[in-house]
Amino acid sequence: MAKIFAPIASLLISVTLLLLGHGLQSTLIPLASRAYQFSDLLIGFAASAYFAGFVLGGIITPHVVVRAGHIRGFAVMVSSMSAAALLHPLVTDAYAWVLFRFITGFCVSGLYLIIESWLNEFADNENRGLVMSAYIIVNYAAFTVGQLMVTLAQPESFYLFAIASIIISVAVMPVAMTKAAQPAPIAIVKLDLRRVFKTSQAAIISAFMIGVVLGSHLTFAPIYAVEKGYNPLTQAPVFAAMLGLGGIISQWPLGRFSDRMDRRVVLLTISILGGVASVAITMLHDVPFYLFLIVGAVIGALTQPAYSLAAAHGYDNAKESGYVRMAAGLLVSYGLGSAIGPSVTSILMQFYGPDVLFLFPTVLLAILSVYLVIRIRQKDPVREAQKEDFDLAATAAVLGVVSPEVFSEEDRYVVVPDEWEPTEEEDPDAEVNGGEIPEGELPEDAAQEPRKLPEVEVDEAVAIAIKEGDGVPQDKTAIEGDDDEEEVEEAPEGERSKSWADDAEGDTPEAASSDDESAAVANDEESKR
């Protein structure tokens, strides 16, 4: 176990720090916006900007990594995210916060992509599940703890923003000090939404609808608790964290259950129940806080896993060569929904009050349920033998576009970087073919010597031919070259046979130099190769 996690310990520490700061910001920003008396509309726009930046970051970050490398790219993203966090209390303007949230979303997506590609490089087929599961657990746990850190001070105070900025800044240190070599460049995936939609309509539409729902919940959950009369310092952050905690608890059981039946049926069931729970929470008035938390956790348990189920269904319908393309399509679909959701919800809340936060998702879940019923009736379920086992790590919003497999340069949907310069920690001999990594090989494999013809193989081949007394005119000329071929052909056939037979028996002086000549030929051939 220690051998597996020792090389990635620095990465996991950085992930923990990043998600602490990110979780703190995700709950702090809405509460601070309300404290600064920003309108719900601008709060929604800021959240939409975050998710728009998240999608754009997933598209642009691979180019940054190809140009600057993983460590430099990581440092740039962390520095930008830290600066954006600290700018919020310095520039208390709602429109400026929209820009800051866009930068944060861009950086978060880029950091996810860099870290997860790095983890994939360290993992192999035997321990990838263990490594990625540990990463997902650290991810969720740190994010939830970060949300609860909002209770340390008043939302509008400078201290919480400073704490978030400091934690994020410190996250660069473990990665900057690591001795681990950088992984190969991230391949740039070309998006084909039409082809992905044709492969699995239910997965793409479900990802979009769930993005609208979860984007709204993440943005306005703490504000909803405040509107219901709960304390903005000690209770509202806890309610926001409970939505995520409920999702963490139910992710794995629902995923494994979907392995045994049609995933669309499971998705349909939780959509219906999630709508019922959403209506129920709007009916709670002046109830104990613990009851409010329980209903919130139930809503999270029924809505948070929906994206993972939709992603798993998409992978079931995609061929193995299309997994990365499907993951990119799911990410964009989910990101677009998450960007639209907060803005639409904020507009509706201005007209119909805070209960819209859960009533609007109820309408969306009802529409999704009707659509799933139609798809289930129209299309047969994926056979169990063709299903991919539910893998929580593989259905993360960003991780899916980072493949552990070697990309094919012939795939028109994938752009493989043309150049790769090794870092100081890597063997410079790993560069082959002008810096390109051959398809199917890892960089370190290129430094090995599988192409060298061992000297003993040539000697044994010649020795066997001599021992059998058949002579080796063709093999010998092939080894010695054109000049020797002409020389052998000029000799009479009888003398040639006698000469080789005498050499085999050791009756001539030339026999003593036969082995030396063979070794010299082998060495010459080896040097040519």
Q: Give residue-wise pLDDT tens across range 151-192.
A: 999 998 899 999 999 999 999 898 888 776 666 666 666 677
Burial classification of residue 159, based on how many CB atoms lie within 10 Å of its CB (0-12 exposed, 13-18 middle, 19 or more buried)? exposed
- The answer to whether residues 25 and 142 belong to one domain is yes
- The answer to whether residues 349 and 228 belong to one domain is yes
Distance of CA 109 to the CA centre of its chain: 10
- In the predicted model, residues of the chain with pLDDT beneath 50 are 393-397, 399-407, 413, 419-458, 462, 471-513, 528-529
The partner residues of 432 in beta bridges, in order of sequence, read 436
- The answer to whether residues 251 and 389 belong to one domain is yes
Task: Give the side-chain half-sphere CA count within 13 A for 82.
Answer: 17
- For 174, other C-beta atoms within 10 Å of its C-beta total 17
Residue 187 pLDDT: 64
Distance CA 463, CA 469 (A): 10
Distance CA 233, CA 2 (A): 40
Instruction: Give the residue among 388, 404, 385 at the shortest CA–CA distance from 324.
Output: 404
Q: What is the CATH number of the domain that holds 199?
A: 1.20.1250.20
Distance CA 164, CA 170 (A): 10
- The answer to whether residues 399 and 373 belong to one domain is yes
Please give the helix or strand (H or E) that residue 415 lies within, else none: strand 414-415
Please give the helix or strand (H or E) that residue 188 lies within, else none: strand 188-189
- The answer to whether residues 169 and 309 belong to one domain is no
- The answer to whether residues 378 and 493 belong to one domain is no
Amino acid at 354: P
- For 518, other C-beta atoms within 10 Å of its C-beta total 20
Quick check: 396 and 307 in contact, CB under 8 A?
no
Domain boundary among 137, 169, 186: 186
Please give the helix or strand (H or E) that residue 215 lies within, else none: helix 201-227
Cβ-proximal residues to 280 (8 Å cutoff; 6+ apart), any chain: 295
Residue keyed to tokens 């850190």: 149
The partner residues of 414 in beta bridges, in order of sequence, read 189
Burial classification of residue 526, based on how many CB atoms lie within 10 Å of its CB (0-12 exposed, 13-18 middle, 19 or more buried)? middle
Residue 289 pLDDT: 94
Residue 90 pLDDT: 94
Domain boundary among 448, 465, 489: 448
Give me 123's structure tokens. 């993992």
Quick check: 71 and 115 in contact, CB under 8 A?
no
- The answer to whether residues 386 and 459 belong to one domain is no
Instruction: Give the residue among 470, 479, 491 at the shortest CA–CA distance from 524.
Output: 479
Distance CA 88, CA 160 (A): 11
Quick check: 77 and 129 in contact, CB under 8 A?
no
**DSSP category for residue 185:** P
Domain boundary among 430, 448, 466: 448
Residues of 434-443 as b/e, b for ≥16 C-beta within 10 angstroms? eeebeeeeeb
Task: Give the side-chain half-sphere CA count within 13 A for 376.
Answer: 15
- The answer to whether residues 286 and 340 belong to one domain is yes
Residues of 195-209 as b/e, b for ≥16 C-beta within 10 angstroms? ebeebbbbbbbbbbb
Give me 128's structure tokens. 């990838």
- Specify the pTM: 0.72
- The answer to whether residues 413 and 439 belong to one domain is no
Range of the domain at 12: 1-186
Quick check: 330 and 311 in contact, CB under 8 A?
yes
- State how many domains the chain has: 4
Q: Beta 188-189 vs 414-415: how paired, if at all? A: antiparallel
- The answer to whether residues 277 and 371 belong to one domain is yes
Residue 412 pLDDT: 53
- The answer to whether residues 354 and 371 belong to one domain is yes
Quick check: 437 and 446 in contact, CB under 8 A?
yes
Residue 125 pLDDT: 60
Give me 319's structure tokens. 């061929």
- The answer to whether residues 240 and 271 belong to one domain is yes
Distance CA 186, CA 490 (A): 60
